[in-house]
Amino acid sequence: MPGESDRSRRQQSSANIRAASESSGRIPPVSRVIDPGRVAVKFGTLGGVFTPCTLTILGVIMFLRFGQVVGHSGVLLALAVVLLSKTITSLTALSLSAIATNTRVQGGGAYYLISRSLGVEFGGAIGVVFYLAQAVSVAMYVIGFTEAFLATFPELGLNPTVVASVVHAIVFICVFIGAGWTIKVQYGILAVLVLSLISFFVGALMNADAERLASNLKPSWNGQSFFTMFALFFPAATGIMAGANMSGDLENPARSIPRGTLASIGVTALVYLLMAAALGAAASREALQDDNLVVRNVSFIPVLITAGVFAATLSSALGSMMGAPRILQALARDEIFPSLRFFGHGSGASAEPRRATVVTFVIAQGGIMLGDLDLIAPIITMFFMITYGYLNLATFYESWTKNPSYRPTFRFSHWSTELAGALSCGAVMLLISPVAACASVLAIAALQWWIGRKQVQATWGDAKSGAAYERARRALLRLQEEALHPKNWRPSILALSGGAYNRVNLAVFGHWLTGGRGILTIAQIIVGDVAKHLDRRAAQEEVLEKFLGEEGLEAFPAVLVSPKLGLGIETLVQAYGIGALRPNVVLIGWSSDESRVEQFGVTLRTISGLKRSIVIMRSQSGTPDPWIAAPGTIDVWWRGKANGHLMLLLAYLLSQADPWRGRTVRLLRVISSEGGREEATRHLAQLISDARIKAEPVVIVDADARRAIRRASRKAAVVFLGFQPPEAGAEKAFIQGMSGTMPEDRTVLVVWSAGGMQLEA
C-alpha cells in the first residue's frame, strides 16, 4: 500500500575434481550484439561446439574416478549411472537446441538465452554467479593440473603455487591472443585425448577376462550406494553448455549448437559405456575401488593416460578462461550493472573480451593463491546445475505460454521434456549436496531480488510477459464462465480524473480505495473530433503513464476522444474493460458549477443506469501533498443497506492503506428521538459484527440530520455519505442539498451503490 514507501518509490581432492568437471558447463559469451558489421573469425560445429563439449565431458573424472564408479556399482549399474546422467543432460540439450533455434543467438550463450526468456532478474543473477563460478573454475582446473603434474614428477620438488601460477599465465596468454588460437590449441588437446583413449581400450582388450567381467557385473558397495556413485559421476556428464558459450563466435549458432551438442553427448555416452565394460573386464574389483590410476595401469601406453589427464585439465581451464570473460562482456553490454560497462569493450575484428579476460585472470589467480577450494567447490557445482535448470525452465515457459514468437526449427523438444529437465536438475542438486544446493539457490534469489529492487529495465522481450498474458487469458475466461458471488466482490474503479495532474487527489484516493485488492483505471476524456485529436490522445496517454509512474500508482491509463463529455463518459463506462473484468465503481469529482449542474445530473443518471456504483469526491482544500492523510476519523453515515454496505466496505479498504492504518472507523446514524438510541446503537453494533470490520458505533440524536452530520464530522478526515441520483430537473436541488449536508472543509465521498456486494458475505 502507498504511503512513505510510495513517496520514496516515486523519488526513487574429490571435491575439487568433481567441481572442476561440473564447472565445465562453461558459460556464456556476450549477450548484446558484438557489432554486427564487423569482420570476424567464426567457428563451425566441430571447432566451436563439438570439440569444447567433448573435451569438457571427457575430463578428469573419466581418468581418475570412473574406476571407482564401476568398482562399487558393478558394470551393470555403472551403465545405468551413465545412461541416467546422459538422459538428464540430454533433456537440457534438447531445451538448449529448441531455444537456440528460436532466436538469433548472439554472444552470451546460456546467459543470453535465459535472460531473453526469463527476463533481466533471472538473467542478471545467472550471469553474475556463473561468471564468478567460471572464473574460479579456472583456478580449480589449474590446481588439478598442478596436482597431477607434481604427482607424475615428484622428483622435481617444485612449489605447487609457482607451478599453478605459471600454467595459469600460459592459459591466460592463449586466451588473450584470441579464441581462434585457443580453438587450435584445443584441436591438439583433442588429439592427445583420442590417443589416450586408444591406449586404454587396447590395453583393456589385452587384459580382458570373461570371468573377471562376470564377477564385476554386480555391485559391491563397501559403504557406498547407487546415489553416491551417481553424484560422483554426474559432473562428468556436464559441460554441454561449452559450445553454447561460444555462441557469439559461431558462424551459425542455430545450426551448430544443436548438432554439435547432441553429437558430443552421443559420442561421449558411447565412450563411457564402452569404458565401463572394458574396466569391468580388465581390472579386479579391488583395483577399481582403491586405485585412482587404474585407467593408467590398464592402458597399453600408460604415459598417454598421464598426457590425457594433463589434456583434460588444460582444456577445461582454457574453456573456462574463454567462457567467463564472454559472460562478463555480455553483462556489461546489457547494462544490467552500469558499473561493469567498462568490460563490455571488445578488441579487434572479433571483439575479443580482453578487458574481461584480464579481470578473470586476476580472480582466478586469487583462487590459486588461496589454494584450498574444497569449501566453495560444491557451491560452484550448484551454480552450473542451476544454469541447466533455468535453461529448461526458460524453454518450458516459452512452450507453455504458447507465445506466437516461439517457433523453434528444432522439433524434438516438448514442454514435458523441458519440465522434466528442470525438475531433474533440481533433484540432482539435492542429491549431490543439499546444503550447497540450498546455499546456491539462496544466492541466486538474493541477486534476483536486488536486481528487481533496482528496477532494471530490459531492452528485450522475455517469456515472463507471455506467461503473464497466458495466465491472464485463462483467468479471464474462467471468470467469465463463473457467476461472481458477492463474497468475491472487489473494487474495480474507473476514476474520471481529467488531465494527469488536474486531480491528483482523486487518483490517489482511487488508489487507496482499491486497498491493493482491486483494479484502478485513471481515465481522461478529450472533447472534440477523433480524427483531429489522434496525436493529442497519444500524447495525453503518455503523460498519464508518466504520471502514474511518478506517483507510484498501481493503475491503468485510459484516454478517450468524444464529441461531447457526457457521450464520452457513457462510452467509456459501457465499453471499458474485458469480459467480467469491467469497472464496477466510477469515481468522479464533485461539481457545484451552476453551468454544469444539468450535465452533472445526466452523468449520474447514466452511470447508475449502466449499473455501476458511483463515488463522488469533494476534496479537502489546502492539502499540500495528496499522499498525506488528514488527521481525524473515517466517518460512515448509515441510512440503510442500499448504499451502506458499499460505504462501509470502502471505508474499511481505505483504513488498510498505510497512511490510514490505525485510524478509527465510525459508523454513525442520526435519529430524532432519544428513546431509540439504545436500539439504534445495538443495530449498528450488529452491522459491524456481521461485517467483521473494526468500527465504532455512534448514534446522534438530532431532529436536523444535516446539522448533525456537519457537527459530528467537523473533525473527521473522510466522511462517507449516501445519495440517490437526481431526477431530471432536480439537479440543482440535489447539489444544494448535498452541499448543505457535507461537513465544511472535509474530504467527503458521496456514494451510490449498484449492488453486487454484501458485508455479510
- Indicate whether 700 pLDDT > 90: yes
Q: Which among 258, 263, 327, 334 has a CA at the least distance from the CA of 109?
A: 327
The pLDDT value recorded for residue 742 is 92
Give span(s): CATH 3.40.50.12370, the chain. Answer: 483-752
Give span(s): CATH 1.20.1740.10, the chain. Answer: 15-381
Strands (E), 168-258: none
Percent of the chain whose pLDDT exceeds 90: 24
CA distance 80 to 83: 5
Strands 556-562, 585-589: pairing is: unpaired
| Chain mean position to CA 427 | 20
Neighbouring residues of 610: CB distance < 8 A, sequence distance ≥ 6: 570, 573, 574
The pLDDT value recorded for residue 148 is 78
CA distance 50 to 242: 9
Q: Which amino acid is at 53?
A: C
Rounded to 5°, angle at Cα 31 from 28 and 36: 120
pTM for this prediction: 0.61
Among the four given CATH numbers 3.40.50.2020, 1.10.287.130, 3.40.50.1360, 3.40.50.12370, the one describing domain 483-752: 3.40.50.12370
- Indicate whether 280 pLDDT > 90: yes
SS3 content of the chain, % helix, strand, coil (to 5): 65, 10, 30
Question: Once rounded to an integer, what is the mean pLDDT over residues 109-119?
Answer: 69
CA distance 412 to 405: 18
Chain segment 494-539, per-residue pLDDT in tens: 998 876 666 788 888 999 998 778 889 888 888 888 888 888 888 8
For the chain, report the end-to-end CA distance as a whole number of angstroms.
24
Question: Once rounded to an integer, what is the mean pLDDT over residues 705-713?
Answer: 92
CA distance 132 to 134: 5
Q: Which amino acid is at 697?
A: P
Residue 7 banded pLDDT, cuts 50, 70, 90: very low
Determine whether domain 15-381 maps to CATH 3.30.465.10: no
- Indicate whether 115 pLDDT > 60: yes
Question: Once rounded to an integer, what is the mean pLDDT over residues 246-259?
Answer: 80
Chain segment 211-221, per-residue pLDDT in tens: 999 999 999 98
The pLDDT value recorded for residue 291 is 84
CA distance 519 to 248: 44
Task: Evaluate whether 440 touches 129 at the Cβ level (below 8 Å).
Answer: yes
Q: In what order do the strands lie in the sheet with 718-722?
A: 556-562, 519-527, 492-496, 585-589, 613-618, 747-752, 718-722, 634-637, 665-671, 696-701
457 by Cβ neighbours in 10 Å (0-12 / 13-18 / 19+) ranks as exposed
Bin 588: left if φ > 0, else alpha if -120 < ψ < 50, else beta.
beta
The pLDDT value recorded for residue 33 is 37
Chain segment 551-571, per-residue pLDDT in tens: 888 888 888 898 888 888 888
- Indicate whether 108 pLDDT > 70: no
Question: Once rounded to an integer, what is the mean pLDDT over residues 686-708?
Answer: 90
- Indicate whether 395 pLDDT > 60: yes
Neighbouring residues of 35: CB distance < 8 A, sequence distance ≥ 6: 346, 351
Q: Quick one: CA dihedral 754, 755, 756, 761, positive or negative?
A: positive
Please give the mean pLDDT across all residues of the chain: 81
